[in-house]
């Protein structure tokens, strides 16, 4: 490992993530992780721009100009949504404000970052989701004759059936699952809120097969992670980056057989896909909202809006040869002054 050029910067980063956020702000583990992701990405971007190593980045490089360029890069190059861009900006502002509280010389930088505008979200952003054919193609890709194939297939099934966020899935422990008459899983969502989600019969069958392979002998009261990685005999919860890479691998091969598989398949796409399919098959939006763990029903309306656009497109295509559309419009002309006055209410 190389030598750190600006020890003060990395000391502040460490204290911000390991002490200030969890202990003083009482931020959740997911919030700390999101801030860490944002700061790591910014450091890598800055290092790449300067053609230096991450350890050579200094606080002097954290400027209004650099942060603005990073946010533009997110929007243009990474195709990030306004929400993602705003979250990254919030993380950078929070860190720099913390640094300014510790070191007064950074107050001017913190002040500059407050002038960067928040990007407005469209009320109904475009929702990406997969067709049912694409879902089937993806689930058929893992080689279930292998242990990894059994795990990866069940992981995608679990993501789809629960409609859960990736971190909610990775936080599931065996004891969170009930396989009685009404099989359910308890998900630990944002803001430390929990919700219970039903599991379909086919999902339970895959779950039981998965348990035989990865949790032989474990009871349903076990506090072991449902999905884990094992290193040197120790089991740890699986990382979302690992899940993302595995899914992208299967998407690439599935796309060769099914053109419906999108170019960018990521864990959260399964959540949008499941919600969209449920809505298209008649589930009430209120139920979908509760099932997804949305705080407000308005958040769930994106699925109704997206489906309305799909219906509009289908109607337009279906009506392209409608005889009424081919009829020439009749242009009426009014020459009588009295009639013209009456038309205008005079």
Q: What is the mean predicted confidence (pLDDT) over 63-89?
A: 87
Domain boundary among 83, 113, 143: 113
pLDDT greater than 70 at residue 228: yes
Q: Read off the pTM.
A: 0.62
Domain boundary among 236, 264, 283: 283
* 43 & 103 share domain: yes
- Render pLDDT for 233-289 as a digit per residue (tens, 0 to 9): 888 889 888 999 999 999 999 999 999 998 889 898 888 888 888 877 777 667 767
d(CA 60, CA 57): 8
pLDDT greater than 70 at residue 316: no
Q: Which domain holds residue 167?
A: 132-283
- How many separate domains does the chain show? 2
Domain boundary among 85, 113, 141: 113
Q: Give strand pairing partners of 236.
A: 229
- What CATH number does residue 165 fall under? 1.10.443.10
- Render pLDDT for 145-184 as a digit per residue (tens, 0 to 9): 999 999 999 999 999 998 888 999 999 999 999 998 899 9
Most confident by average pLDDT, 193-197, 262-266, 296-300, 317-321: 262-266
pLDDT greater than 60 at residue 346: no
Would you state the structure tokens that stand for residue 207, as one six-digit string? 């779950």
d(CA 173, CA 225): 4
Angstrom CA distances, 303 to 6, 22, 65, 83, 280, stand at 47, 34, 37, 17, 9
* 148 & 182 share domain: yes
What is the percentage of the chain residues whose pLDDT exceeds 90? 46
pLDDT recorded at residue 1: 53
* 172 & 107 share domain: no
* 214 & 98 share domain: no
- What CATH number does residue 70 fall under? 1.10.150
């Amino acid at each position: 490992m190389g030598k750190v050029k600006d020890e003060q910067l990395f000391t502040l980063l460490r204290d911000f993530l390991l002490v200030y956020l969890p202990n003083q702000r009482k931020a959740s583990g997911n919030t700390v992780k999101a801030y860490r992701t944002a700061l790591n990405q910014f450091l890598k971007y800055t290092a790449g721009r300067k053609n230096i190593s991450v350890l050579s980045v200094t606080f002097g490089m954290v400027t209004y100009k650099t942060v603005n360029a990073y946010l533009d890069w997110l929007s243009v190059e990474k195709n990030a949504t306004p929400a993602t861009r705003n979250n990254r900006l919030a993380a950078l502002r929070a860190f720099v404000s913390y640094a300014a509280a510790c070191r007064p010389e950074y107050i001017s930088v913190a002040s500059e970052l407050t002038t960067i505008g928040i990007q407005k979200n469209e009320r109904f952003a475009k929702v990406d989701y997969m067709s049912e054919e694409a879902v089937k193609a993806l689930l058929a890709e893992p080689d279930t004759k292998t242990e990894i194939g059994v795990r990866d297939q069940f992981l995608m099934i679990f993501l789809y059936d629960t409609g859960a966020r990736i971190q909610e899935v990775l936080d599931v422990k065996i004891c969170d699952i009930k396989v009685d008459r009404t099989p359910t899983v308890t998900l630990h969502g944002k803001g430390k809120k929990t919700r219970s989600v039903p599991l379909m019969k086919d999902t339970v069958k895959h779950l039981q097969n998965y348990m035989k392979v990865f949790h032989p002998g474990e009871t349903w009261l076990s506090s072991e992670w449902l999905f884990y990685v094992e290193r040197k005999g120790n089991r740890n919860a699986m990382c979302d980056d690992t899940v993302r890479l595995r899914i992208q691998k299967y998407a690439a091969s599935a796309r060769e057989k099914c053109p419906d598989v999108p170019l960018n398949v990521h864990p959260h796409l399964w959540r949008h896909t499941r919600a969209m399919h449920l809505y298209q098959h008649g589930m009430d939006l209120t139920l979908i909202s509760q099932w997804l763990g949305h705080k407000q029903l308005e958040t769930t309306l994106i699925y109704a809006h997206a489906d309305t656009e799909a219906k509009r497109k289908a109607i337009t295509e279906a009506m392209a040869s409608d005889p009424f559309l081919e009829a020439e419009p009749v242009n009426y002309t009014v020459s009588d002054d009295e009639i013209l006055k009456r038309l205008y209410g005079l």
